[in-house]
């Protein structure tokens, strides 16, 4: 019996190793096959959302409705589609009669249905999502026209000034091209996130999304007294009076603190002016205190234009437009994939542990 147990344990170990090898080899093969399809930097993935929602509706219908109800609905839809097609043809004929030259409007949106392009931006401290955002915007600008629309689903608590400055500049490219920009905030657009959000022609917020934090923050630990207590010297050799002001190991001086405070105030002033330029209806002095508000409060302060979710905006766009979700997939090595997967696994473990702890607290 003991022999069988030992054999079973040995077999389990061997099986585990074999499975691990197969997974690794599969990842290598999959990566190699994908690299053939991916360009130098990555590839654009486009999802027609009209078809996606139509498929969902049809699946639900077949699960809920009986055959007679389905037949009746399909008949009504065919009749409506036929009427719409007839009206579109009549409008096209009238347009052609009104045109003096068929070549003058050969690229006009009047020849086709309006298009809405959906983008997603999930920001972190360094706004790393700007790497894909810039590619997505570049792709859209090669095709979009002024009667089309870009809808951005934005989620960001803010981060480094220069990183979010670049992300905001990418959105300016859309506005400079004359293409309407709608930004939807479902969870949070604070600090640098709001710097981006205020560029919208129409800014939409969920009722309890966190909006605002128009302020600037600099913080760092200082170990100078610890080093001094242990007789450790720390020297900085620099040229330029303010090349270094406050550092982690150097002595904090009043002159250095004053210079950092001056720089923070300057950046805050630029941030305030940016918001005021793009949302002139706000009382900038009242909203630039670093506070945050939920969406409903933000609307009262003219920081957002409308209270609804991104889902409502996209579904409404599907009624009048051909809607496409545009995503850029970066080309990644196996090492990159593994390194990015590990933090996600750790985060899930911590989240599961936290959630279980919370549940136990209420039992």
Say how far apart CA 83 and CA 12 lie, in whole Å.
Answer: 66
228 in catalytic set: no
Is there a catalytic annotation at residue 79?
Answer: no
With tokens 């007839």, the residue in question is 86
- Calculate the CA 251 to chain-centre distance: 40
- 17 burial level (CB within 10 Å; 0-12, 13-18, 19+): exposed
Q: How far apart are CA 211 and CA 194, in angstroms?
A: 7
Contact 246, 257 (CB under 8 A): yes
Catalytic hit among 168, 191, 205, 310: 191
> d(Cα 252, Cα 350) in Å, to the nearest integer?
37
Backbone angles phi, psi at 176, to 5 degrees: -65, -25
Which candidate, 181, 197, 199, 169, places its Cα nearest to that of 144?
Answer: 181
What are the residue ranges of helices labelled H in the chain?
Answer: 2-37, 49-64, 67-98, 130-141, 161-176, 192-197, 224-229, 254-278, 284-287, 295-300, 310-320, 334-361
The answer to whether residues 305 and 199 touch, using CB atoms and an 8 Å cutoff, is: no
Tell which phi-psi region holds residue 290, choosing left (phi > 0), alpha (psi between -120 and 50) or beta: left
Which of these is catalytic: 36, 100, 243, 286?
243
Q: Around Cβ 75, how many Cβ atoms within 10 Å?
A: 10
Task: Name the residues annotated as catalytic.
Answer: 191, 243
């Amino acid at each position: 019996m003991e022999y069988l147990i030992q054999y079973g344990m040995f077999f389990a170990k061997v099986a585990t190793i074999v499975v691990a090898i197969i997974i690794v080899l599969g990842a290598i093969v999959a990566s190699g096959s994908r690299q053939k399809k991916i360009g130098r930097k990555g590839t654009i993935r486009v999802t027609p959302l009209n078809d996606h929602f139509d498929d969902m509706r049809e699946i639900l219908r077949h699960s809920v409705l009986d055959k007679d109800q389905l037949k009746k609905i399909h008949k009504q839809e065919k009749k409506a589609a036929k009427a719409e097609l007839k009206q579109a043809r009549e409008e096209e004929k009238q347009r052609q009669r009104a045109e003096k030259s068929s070549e003058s409007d050969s690229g006009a949106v009047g020849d086709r249905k309006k298009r809405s392009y959906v983008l997603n931006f999930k920001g972190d401290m360094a706004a790393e999502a700007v790497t894909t955002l810039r590619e997505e915007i570049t792709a859209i600008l090669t095709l979009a026209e002024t009667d089309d629309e870009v809808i951005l689903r934005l989620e960001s608590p803010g981060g480094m000034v220069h990183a979010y400055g670049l992300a905001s500049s990418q959105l300016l490219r859309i506005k400079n091209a004359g293409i309407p920009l709608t930004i939807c905030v479902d969870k949070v657009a604070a600090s640098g996130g709001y710097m981006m959000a205020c560029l919208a022609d129409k800014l939409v917020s969920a009722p309890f999304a966190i909006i605002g934090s128009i302020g600037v923050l600099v913080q760092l630990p200082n170990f100078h007294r610890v080093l001094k207590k242990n007789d450790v010297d720390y020297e900085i050799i620099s040229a330029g009076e303010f090349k270094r002001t406050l550092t982690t190991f150097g002595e904090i001086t009043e002159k250095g603190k004053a210079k950092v405070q001056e720089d923070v105030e300057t950046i805050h002033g630029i941030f305030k002016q940016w918001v005021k330029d793009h949302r002139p209806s706000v009382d900038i002095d009242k909203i630039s205190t670093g506070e945050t508000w939920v969406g409903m409060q933000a609307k009262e302060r003219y920081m957002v234009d409308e209270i609804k979710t991104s889902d409502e905006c996209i579904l409404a766009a599907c009624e009048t437009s051909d809607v496409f979700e545009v995503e850029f997939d970066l080309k990644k090595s196996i090492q990159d994939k593994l390194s990015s997967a590990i933090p996600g696994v750790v985060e899930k473990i911590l989240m599961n542990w936290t959630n279980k702890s919370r549940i136990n607290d209420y039992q």
